[in-house]
Each structure stands twice: as structure tokens, then as C-alpha cells.
Structure 1
Amino acid sequence: MPKVFFGVEIAPDIKQRLLNVQAPIQCAGWQSSEQLHLTLVFLGNVPEGTVPGLFDSAGSVSAEPFELAVRGLGCFGSPERPSILWAGVCPETPVVSLHRQLLETLVAAGVRVDHHNFKPHITLSRFGRGAGSVQRLMEEKSEESFGTMAVNAFVLYESTQGPNGSVYTVLKRFPLN
């Protein structure tokens, strides 16, 4: 069963600036350049024959291209005991709108989706037990701009486990129009 999710690819220049944030923090599992993305809808493991139907559903989404600025850092969990360190995006409105439209399209097609509260972000690091504090790093980078990019498409990724963590492969791109 493939593990899949819809997301937005991050521009190479922004990826490089985000990689420069990496700091020696205890129990931090920093994401590689290839792993940086913005998740729109996580589906998890889906039956083999489901992927073509996902292509059809996602292909019916109609949204305008938009500009997205990547700015500041935040975390899930407390800054003293984080689970995830992330970079923020703004404006959030077009990302949330794309997320909702994609979610509604998938649900209408009978696809089971994760209905958690959606917070648009780019995961920079995942933390294990005993994680060090990210408070200082977040304060230092709270207003830092990592760049602006045009979002002209979203993608369906497949996630597989490799020797160095998750490997994300683009299965299909869906242009915004």
C-alpha cells in the first residue's frame, strides 16, 4: 500500500535558506532539501488501485496560482519541548482555500482523509524524546524572511522509507489555473 499525500513543492532558493537555519539542537532530526515541502492533505497508506482515482479527484480542483512568502519559525509542542520545528507561510488564506477544496473533492469521491486542524507550514525538524529547546532559535528567526515563491501547482507525493529517512517522490503535478 503506497503512503501518499498532497503538497506544494518549495522553490530551491527558499529550500537553501531554510537549510541554513539548522542548528545543533539535541534530538533534532533535520529535514533534507529533498524532504522540504508544504503538506496540503495527508492520506497515509492507501490501497494500490486508489492512486488513479486520486489523480482524477485532484485534477478537478480549480484554484488560481498565488504568491507565498515563507517567514518566521514556529513549533508544535512547547519551545522547551518541541515535537516539530516549522517555517511559517503567508498569506495563509490561499493555502487554506486550496487545502479545503482538495479535502472536499477527496471526501466527495469517498476517500478517507485526516480531518485535523490545518496549519500551513514547512517542517524543518522532527524531535525525539529529550529534545533541546528551540526558544532561542525561534526568537532569533521570528521575523526572518526566507523568500517568496510562486505557487503554480500542487503535487501528489508518495512517501517511502529510505536508509536516511523518508523519501518523497512526485507521482503527479496538478497545475493551478
Structure 2
Amino acid sequence: MRAFIAVDLPQEFNDKVADVQSKFNDFKFKFVDPGIVHITVRFLGDVPDDKIPDISRALDSVKCEPFEAHVKGVGVFPKPKFTKVIWLGCEGNFDKLYESVTDSLSSFEFEPNLHRFSAHATLARVKYLPRKKKTEFLEILDELKDVDIGVMQVDAVKLKKSVLTPQGPLYETLHEVSLK
């Protein structure tokens, strides 16, 4: 199964997330349903079903105190003139959480992360951005660079299963670890 470890955004952020996404309605982007927008701490990839209990036990050893996080600002990967992902920025103790999650999973042979960890919540994927719409897109990005979604308490990480469907991904929480 396709699996990842994440921090969910609180439900009370859904309307603000949807409002930010609506600014891009004139584009044909693939938006993430606001109700499932999350911060991926570690993508695991395809994991054999029989490894899930071992991964869950390993995650129970995560050592990171709960912390406050600020979700604000819209950005893109890899760069504004060649955008593939539109995201919300997330400030907080995510580097410590990422390190602890990574340490707890060190005995497993997951693919290494190719990019430096950067806490973010994906809002949309961009397959195509017409050249004639690029200026409009960059103006909207600039307008949203300081948008404030809110402050949240990060007190748990979740091991999730992802099933990709034509309508978008479906997520199921397989294990939850309370931070302490």
C-alpha cells in the first residue's frame, strides 16, 4: 500500500483553505480537497501490508513535544515560473518532528528523501500553466504570499494509507501517535 506520515490541518481551516484555492479557479489545476489537506512529514511510498504493524510500533518511539504551528503564506515548488505544486507554508517545530520520525524509522529501508524537508501543505498540483496566464498566476501568488490561515496545535502524527482514484486521493489513518 502507498503510505505516508502526516499532521492533519484542523477542520476549522477548511473554509480558509478553500478560499485560497478559489483564487486559482480560472486555472485548470488539480486541487486537494480542503478536508484532506495535510502536512506530510515523511512519504514512505509502497509498503507491504504486513510491515504496517512494525512501522506503527516504530512510530510509537517518536520523541517530540507538542508544539504550536502557524499556517501562512502561499508558495510553489520548484519555482514560480515553473510551478508543479502550490502549497501553504507551515512554521513550527516541524524539523524536530521530521528528525524524530526519520530516526524512529531508521531500521526500515525507505527511499531517501531527495529534497530537503520543508513543512508545507499541498493545495494543488499544476500539470499545465498557459504562457498567456502566467502573469495573472504570478500576481495571485504575490497577493497570497502573506495569507494567514491560522495557528494550530500539533500534538499527533498519523500513519496514513493513500489510495489514488480518478476523483483524487482517499486517505485512511492506520495509526496515530500522540506527541509527548
* TM-score (norm: length of structure 1): 0.91
Distance change >3 Å, CA 99–CA 25, structure 1 → 2: farther
Q: Which runs of 4+ in 1 moved over 3 A?
A: 130-134
CA RMSD of aligned residues (A): 1.5
Match of 1:165 in 2: 168
Match of 1:67 in 2: 68
Distance change >3 Å, CA 27–CA 80, structure 1 → 2: farther
Q: What is the identity, as a one-letter code, of the residue corresponding to 1:58?
A: L
Q: Take 1:16 and 1:58, find their aligned partners in 2: how far apart are those partners?
A: 31
Q: What is the identity, as a one-letter code, of the residue corresponding to 1:143?
A: D
Report % sequence identity: 25
1:114 aligns with 2:112: yes
The residue matched to 2:20 in structure 1 has which SS? coil
Deviation of the 1:96 alpha carbon:
1.0
* TM-score (norm: length of structure 2): 0.90
Q: Take 2:112 and 2:13, find their aligned partners in 1: how far apart are those partners?
A: 28
Match of 2:97 in 1: 98
Structure 1, unaligned runs of 5 or more: none
Render the CA deviation track for 1:121-152: whole Å, top value 9, x for unaligned: 00000010345533112211111210000011
Match of 1:58 in 2: 59
Which residue, out of 171, 175, 178, partners 1:175?
178
- The count of residues paired between Structure 1 and Structure 2 equals 173
Render the CA deviation track for 1:69-91: whole Å, top value 9, x for unaligned: 10111100332331000000113
Q: Take 1:32 and 1:60, find their aligned partners in 2: how far apart are those partners?
A: 31
Task: Judge conservation of contact 1:42–1:114 (CA < 8 Å) in 2.
Answer: no
Q: Take 1:105 and 1:136, find their aligned partners in 2: how far apart are those partners?
A: 42
| Segment drifting more, 73-82 vs 40-49 | 73-82
Match of 1:6 in 2: 5
Render the CA deviation track for 1:10-44: whole Å, top value 9, x for unaligned: 01122321111122243311110233000000001
Match of 1:127 in 2: 126
Structure 2, unaligned runs of 5 or more: none
